[in-house]
Amino acid sequence: MKKQIAIIFILIFSIINSSYACSCSSLETTSNRYQQSDFVGIVKIIKTYKNEVDSIDTYKVDVETITLLKGKSIIKLQTEGFNGIANRYSSCGVWFEEGKSYLIYANNTSTGTFVGYCGVDRYFNANTLSTLNKIKKHVSHFKVDTRWGRTTYIPYQLYLKYQPDSSKHLSLIKIEVNRKNGTVKISHLSDDDRNFKERIKNVLTEKLNWKTKLDEQQYPNNSYIFILETHPYTNSKYLMEELKNTKIN
């Protein structure tokens, strides 16, 4: 009986603990994260410090900027979690190992440069860096809030037009919106076929209501540039279901 109670307790604890686990959106893209960040780059962890206050889950880190992809080089970071404090745990805590390098997407705050759990890429590769360098050429000089970007993913119907054997193809699409004169210019930064380009243009210029996306409070300027990243030939069932439920205004 005691064994059964212990097992039940462990299961309940696991369920409660998992419900608070930190997770990142499966629909987030490299381009979205880049455009939302003040700093993007590969940093080497020089030293991690114990939390200044045991009950506050943020700690400081000394870093060296190895590769700068956006913003200015940094030598210090603040991140989330408990470091060097016994019996303290944060579900969204970041654990940095001294001497190792990480690709991070960070933002400037009143107390310094901060990176959260979803802003740390521990397993970046050459393809990620290639994508970032392409994006850098177009939006490296400003920060854009692209949370609306998830409603501009290519609708489910477009995915059905392509074969799954091309699932590794990546499209980068530059969108220039001028709210003042109501124009939208679409440019493909990747090598996409003509049929796909025509469908993209139709979705982003005729089916998408940009006025509802660029309200004056969040977007006070007349013109903006966004980079949309998509895998138009993917055969991921999960992603297809997510896109199927996406509403195009």
Sign of torsion, CA 209 215 216 222?
A: negative
Give me the pLDDT at residue 21, please: 61
pLDDT in tens, the chain (249 residues): 545 544 444 333 333 343 346 777 655 678 878 888 999 999 999 999 999 988 889 999 999 999 999 999 999 999 999 998 888 878 889 999 999 999 999 999 998 999 999 899 988 888 889 889 888 887 777 777 665 444 344 443 444 444 444 455 677 888 888 878 878 898 988 888 787 788 778 877 877 777 777 777 777 888 888 887 776 544 444 444 544 554 443
**Placement of tokens 């939390």 in the chain:** 51
- Rg, C-alpha atoms of the chain: 21
15-34 as b/e, with b when 16 or more CB fall inside 10 Å? eeeeeeeeeeeeebbbbbbb
Measured CA distances, 99 to 93, 96, 206 (Å): 19, 9, 50
Q: What is the pTM of this model?
A: 0.70
- Cα gap 171→115, rounded to integer Å: 27
**Placement of tokens 């392409």 in the chain:** 134
Q: Which distant-in-sequence residues (6+ apart) come within 8 Å of 246 by Cβ?
A: 150, 151, 153, 155, 156
Q: Which distant-in-sequence residues (6+ apart) come within 8 Å of 116 by Cβ?
A: 79, 80, 92, 94
218-233 as b/e, with b when 16 or more CB fall inside 10 Å? ebeeeebbbbbbbbbb
CB 135 within 8 A of CB 223: no
- Cα gap 35→190, rounded to integer Å: 18
Give me the pLDDT at residue 70, please: 94
CB 60 within 8 A of CB 126: no
